[in-house]
């Protein structure tokens, strides 16, 4: 995770060094904020925005430091996927393909790789959805216009701020919003990986935005936000069933069919508009890079690794090589379907933000754990989502009249 070493004679930079002073300052700030919350000193808005500022400091401060230092000392802790996306942005701007491409001549090739023999297989595959690349284009153009070196982490900072906005505007008590803020932006589970340029914050922020809009009764914008998340990362697809359950429950509570149809339309428009053109341009290359590479369908597939079922099988000797094919999909479905059935019924009985998040986190855990790889940042995402369940609590996802009717019926 630390990336390549800096050039000889240059000062080093690592996640540890970047955070030498920041953890001390951040810890002091956290203790101060906890004191404000525990003692209930000061207005609620002050405590809320204080924690939001602390979260922004601990998440964005080290990221900005890494961006500023990178032109001076070169690659240090940068994630290989971030470097690949940066190169892909330049290729799109140059009218070139990004799937079925050899990335051996890009900065990503300079990073060390020792998990499998034969070099990093990502040098021959682009696993990310097109929108991950496309969202960086405006930032790339702006950086060029200003004469600055582009760093994709500036895009991630934008999504981090979007996530902060979504949490601060959740219709739950201020203390509960503080807990969600702390779980995502003060905890190192997410911020540690943001510093090095892993892009999980993109789909997390848009999923949170979708949930915030849904909890405020804006079903169609919520579906649109989730559609963006789906177009950014396939993990967001697992939240779609829970959105559909809430939409159906809203329809039964008296909302118009127009809302349901409109929500479905905006849900699919972004994935279709961003994925289909790249798929049509070269179907075999897109399918090989995005689907087969991550599922073990090619000889140089993404290696079995991490903290899940695949690594257990490999360590037990049941899988000979990390690049071997294995029917993980069957195990994923066997684990996901019961969770989806149980959680979906729970959301249908009482559509709340807490149940929605619990269901999504549970299905995501089943999908990731029994997948081909369960990386450290994936573990962090799942833990973080579960930490958000209790603070989100009983915030209703139904129209006010339907909530009142349910209470009267009870």
Q: Is residue 9 part of a domain?
A: no
Q: Is residue 2 part of a domain?
A: no
Query: What domain range includes position 261?
Result: 15-409
Name the least confident of 280-289, 310-319, 393-402: 393-402
Q: Is residue 104 part of a domain?
A: yes
Flag whether pLDDT at 244 surpasses 50: yes
Q: Is residue 3 part of a domain?
A: no
In the structure, what pLDDT confidence band is assigned to residue 255 with cuts at 50, 70 and 90?
confident
Q: Is residue 6 part of a domain?
A: no
Q: Is residue 130 part of a domain?
A: yes
Flag whether pLDDT at 9 surpasses 50: no
Flag whether pLDDT at 193 surpasses 50: yes
Q: Any idea of the CA torsion for 371, 189, 196, 120, to the nearest 10 degrees?
A: -20
Find the mean pLDDT for residues 373-393: 95
> Which pLDDT does position 174 carry in this prediction?
85
Whole-model pTM above 0.85?
A: yes
- Sequence-distant (6+) residues with CB within 8 A of 1 are 15, 77, 79, 196, 376
Q: Which of 149, 140, 22, 20 is nearest to 74 (CA)?
A: 149
- Sequence-distant (6+) residues with CB within 8 A of 233 are 129, 132, 199, 200, 202, 203
Name the least confident of 87-91, 156-160, 286-290, 394-398: 394-398
- Chain centroid to CA 403: 31
The share of the chain scoring above pLDDT 90, in percent, equals: 68
Write out pLDDT tens, residues 385-403. Answer: 999 999 998 889 987 665 4
Task: Report the mean per-residue pLDDT for the chain.
Answer: 88
Radius of gyration for the chain, computed over Cα atoms and rounded to the nearest angstrom: 22
Flag whether pLDDT at 134 surpasses 80: yes
- Chain centroid to CA 225: 13
Find the mean pLDDT for residues 239-253: 95
Q: Is residue 284 part of a domain?
A: yes
> Which pLDDT does position 115 carry in this prediction?
86
Indicate the number of domains in the chain. 1
HEC profile for the chain?
A: CCCCCCCCCCCCCCHHHHCCCHHHHHHHHHHHHHHHHHHCCCCHHHHHHHHHHHHHHHHHHHHHHHHHHHHHHCCCCCCHHHHHHHHHHHHHHCCCCCCCCCCCCCHHHHCCCCCCCCCCHHHHCCCCCHHHHHCCHHHHHHHHHCCCCCCCHHHHHHHHHHHHHHHHCCCCCHHHHHHHHHHHHHCHHHHHHHHCCCCHHHHHHHHHHHHHHHHCCCHHHHHHHHHHHHHHCHHHHHHHHHHHHHHHHHHHCCCCHHHHHHHHHHHHHHHHHHHHHHHHHCHHHHHHHHHHHHHCCCCCCCCCEECCHHHHHHHCCCCCCCCCCCCHHHHHHHHHHHHHHHHHHHHHHCCEHHHHHHHHHHHHHHHHHCCCEECHHHHHHHHHHHHHHHHHCCCECCCHHHHHHHHHHC
Q: Which of 2, 113, 114, 17 is nearest to 62 (CA)?
A: 17
Q: Is residue 272 part of a domain?
A: yes
> Which pLDDT does position 4 carry in this prediction?
44
The Cα 382–Cα 328 span in angstroms is: 19
Largest CA distance in the chain: 73
Name the least confident of 14-23, 40-49, 145-154: 14-23
Find the mean pLDDT for residues 123-145: 97
Find the mean pLDDT for residues 162-172: 94
Name the least confident of 57-61, 79-83, 95-99: 57-61
In the structure, what pLDDT confidence band is assigned to residue 42 with cuts at 50, 70 and 90?
low
Flag whether pLDDT at 137 surpasses 90: yes
The pair of structure tokens assigned to 169 is 């505007």
The pair of structure tokens assigned to 391 is 């603070």
> Which pLDDT does position 308 carry in this prediction?
96
The share of the chain scoring above pLDDT 70, in percent, equals: 85
Which is higher by pLDDT, 395 or 40?
395
Q: How far is CA 215 from CA 60, 212, 346, 359, in A?
A: 27, 5, 17, 16
Name the least confident of 20-29, 141-150, 292-301, 393-402: 20-29
């Amino acid at each position: 995770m630390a990336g390549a070493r800096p050039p000889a004679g240059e000062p080093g930079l690592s996640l540890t060094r970047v955070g030498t002073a920041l953890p001390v300052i951040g810890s002091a700030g956290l203790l101060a904020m906890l004191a404000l919350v525990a003692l209930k000193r000061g207005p609620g808005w002050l405590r809320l925005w204080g924690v939001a500022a602390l979260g922004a400091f601990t998440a964005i401060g080290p990221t900005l430091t890494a961006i500023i230092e990178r032109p001076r000392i070169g690659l240090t802790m940068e994630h290989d996927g971030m470097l690949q996306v940066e190169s892909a942005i330049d290729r799109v701007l140059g009218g070139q393909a990004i799937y079925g491409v050899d990335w051996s001549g890009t900065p990503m090739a300079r990073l060390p790789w020792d998990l499998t023999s034969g070099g990093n297989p990502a040098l021959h595959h682009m696993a990310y959805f097109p929108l991950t690349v496309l969202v960086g284009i405006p930032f790339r153009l702006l950086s060029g216009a200003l004469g600055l070196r582009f760093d994709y982490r500036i895009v991630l900072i934008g999504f981090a701020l979007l996530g902060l906005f979504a949490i601060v505007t959740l219709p739950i008590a201020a203390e509960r919003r503080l807990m969600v803020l702390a779980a995502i932006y003060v905890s190192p589970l997410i911020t540690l990986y943001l510093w090095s340029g892993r892009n999980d914050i993109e789909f997390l922020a848009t999923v949170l935005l979708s949930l915030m809009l849904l909890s405020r009764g804006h079903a169609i914008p919520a579906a649109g936000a989730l559609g963006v998340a789906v177009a950014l990362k396939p993990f967001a697809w697992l939240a779609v069933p829970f959105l559909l359950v809430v939409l159906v429950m809203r329809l039964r509570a008296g909302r118009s069919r127009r809302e349901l149809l409109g929500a479905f339309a905006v849900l699919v428009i972004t994935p279709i508009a961003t994925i289909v053109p790249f798929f049509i341009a070269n179907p075999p290359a897109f399918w090989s890079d995005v689907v087969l590479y991550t599922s073990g369908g090619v000889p140089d597939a993404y290696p079995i690794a991490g903290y899940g079922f695949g690594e257990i099988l490999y360590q037990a000797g049941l899988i000979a090589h990390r690049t071997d094919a294995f029917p993980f999909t069957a195990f994923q479905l066997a684990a996901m379907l019961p969770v989806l059935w149980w959680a979906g019924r729970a959301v249908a009985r009482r559509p709340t933000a807490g149940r929605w998040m619990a269901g999504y986190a549970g299905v995501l855990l089943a999908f990731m754990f029994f997948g081909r790889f369960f990386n450290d940042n994936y573990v962090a995402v799942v833990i973080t989502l579960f930490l958000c369940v209790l603070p989100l609590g009983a915030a209703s996802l139904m129209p006010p009249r339907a909530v009142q009717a349910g209470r009267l019926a009870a």
